[in-house]
Amino acid sequence: MNQESVYCGWLEDSKNDGMLLSPTDALILMARVHVAAFVLILLAMSVPLQHSFGSTRTLDFFLFPDGSTHVTYSLDSDPLLPDTEVSLYGDSLENLVAEDENGFLLSTQSEKNILQVETLGSSNILINYDTYSLISKDGKIWSFEIDSPVEFNVVMPENSVIVGMSTFPIDMNVDSDRTKILLPSGPAEITYFLAVAESSQVLPPEETPVTADNDNSMMYVAGGVAVAIAAIAAIAIKMKNKPKQIVSAPQTTVVAERNEPFNIEKVLEMPDLREDDKDIIKFIHENGGSALESDLRKKFLLPRTTMWRAVKRLERHELIEITKKDQQNLIKLTNVETDKNE
């Protein structure tokens, strides 16, 4: 073997040793990389979108004489997640509205007692709705029941008298003739009855000398008060042992049943109509029997969603009709000939 042949053999061996992969091995490796990437893509697509449960900041229940409850609560949400799940209170819901921190309406979808809200980019949610399934009635005694994971406020109806509470309140005060109660988390029940509002104030009696007859009269009055208190306590105990009747939403009114011309005096005397709703009816009546929803919002300085809930309540009472006029909602009193050209 000469020197040249030895050198050529050594060069060929060096090339073979320095080559990491042959062409065949390279093709096999590339195929494996593509398969691995495809598998990773399939795994990523198979992972479901994440949802989060909103963290409740405030929770308020507003009770009304017709047995309805307006629920409003504010929750924190993760702006990076597409959806937020919210627990609902009550079975039948009406006028449900979900808004973000800027007042924009959010799309919702409910299933059983869970509300799914599309909250991508939103850090706060405001939920409002009405329900008739949180209050029951037994005779003249009403009962509000709730089980909340956080502390909450309950605003009682006007002229309501509380006869029992299942838990001790954190705070309690009266504002505008309505009692506001702050209760701790957990189950709670409040029983009450609606007192008749006094139409006139009672003047203080003139001072008279105390005699034996007066003293006996005071004893009779004190005895009557004690009997009344005992009767209320007996009613409360009896109420707990009897099945409760779920309050249903009112379907008709005096105006709708008789098909009579609109009587503003009778409407304003309806006991199951809210005072703020009466103000809206009064304004529409003074406005010729109809008004645009936008004009109502300007008059009462209410957000669009709040006014819409009020309008839907009045429609449920069959006191108004909602029609379209130039792409706007026109609110008309039922059985009223409007003075304005429509």
Domains and CATH numbers, the chain: 53-194 (2.60.40.1730), 254-333 (1.10.10.10)
Q: In Å, how far are 155, 179, 229 from 63, measured between CA atoms?
A: 6, 10, 24
* 98 conformational bin, left if phi > 0, alpha if psi -120 to 50, beta if neither: beta
**Three-class DSSP category at 162:** strand
Helices (H), 19-92: 23-46
Q: 328: which strand partners?
A: 325
Whether the CB-CB separation of 114 and 86 falls below 8 Å is answered with: yes
Q: Residue 318 class from Cβ within 10 Å (0-12 exposed, 13-18 middle, 19+ buried)?
A: middle
pLDDT at 252: 43
Strands 171-175 and 320-325: unpaired
Distance of CA 237 to the CA centre of its chain: 31
pLDDT at 199: 37
Per-residue pLDDT of the chain (342 residues; tens, 9 = 90+): 555 554 455 445 545 555 455 667 666 667 676 666 665 665 545 444 444 555 778 999 999 988 889 999 999 988 888 889 988 998 888 888 899 988 888 999 888 788 999 988 888 999 999 999 999 999 999 999 999 999 999 999 988 999 999 999 999 999 878 899 999 999 999 999 998 754 333 334 444 444 444 445 455 445 555 545 555 555 555 555 555 555 555 544 444 444 567 788 888 888 888 888 999 999 999 999 999 988 898 888 777 778 888 888 899 888 999 988 877 889 999 876 555 444
The candidate with the shortest Cα–Cα distance to 174, out of 190, 193, 187, 161, is 161
Write out the two tokens for 297. Answer: 């919002």
- To the nearest 10°, report the CA torsion of 218, 223, 227, 229: 60
Say which amino acid occupies 231.
Answer: A
Enter the DSSP assignment of 20.
S
Dist CA 321 CA 293 (whole Å):
12
The candidate with the shortest Cα–Cα distance to 52, out of 99, 112, 122, 105, is 122
Under 8 Å CB-to-CB from 251, ≥6 apart: which residues?
316
Whether the CB-CB separation of 152 and 183 falls below 8 Å is answered with: yes
Q: For the whole model, what pTM was predicted? A: 0.54
Strands 69-76 and 55-63: antiparallel
Q: Residue 182 class from Cβ within 10 Å (0-12 exposed, 13-18 middle, 19+ buried)?
A: middle
Tokens 């059983």 locate to: 112
Dist CA 310 CA 91 (whole Å):
21
Q: 71: which strand partners?
A: 61, 129
pLDDT at 332: 92
Length of the chain: 342
Q: How many CB atoms lie within 10 A of CB 48?
A: 5
Q: 175: which strand partners?
A: 178
The candidate with the shortest Cα–Cα distance to 85, out of 109, 57, 61, is 109
